[in-house]
Amino acid sequence: MQPRKKRILLIAGGAVLGGIAGWMYWRFVGCSTGRCAITSSPVNSTIYFAAIGALVFSMAKSAPEHK
């Protein structure tokens, strides 16, 4: 697989995992008052955590290929 395609898939995977984590955070922890900017809505927390997941996974470096 091409390095660019691997990188895009890695970042997209991080966004998906982050989105799942954001929804779970909203569902199980959340904000009981509704005044929290990020965790008061499942959409907000999912988008925020997806962005964080993409950023974290974008920092990953691939291992050098041995020939």
**What single DSSP character describes residue 67?**
-
How long, in residues, is the chain? Answer: 67
Stronger pLDDT, 2 or 26, i.e. the higher one? 26
Task: Report the number of distinct structural domains present in the chain.
Answer: 1
Is 49 contained in some domain? yes
Asked if the model's pLDDT at residue 55 lies above 90, the reply is yes
Calpha distance 10→58 (Å, rounded):
7
Is 8 contained in some domain? no
Is 34 contained in some domain? yes
Is 3 contained in some domain? no
Check residue 63 and give its pLDDT: 62
Is 7 contained in some domain? no
Which range of residues forms the domain containing residue 43? Answer: 15-58
Q: What is the mean pLDDT of the chain?
A: 88
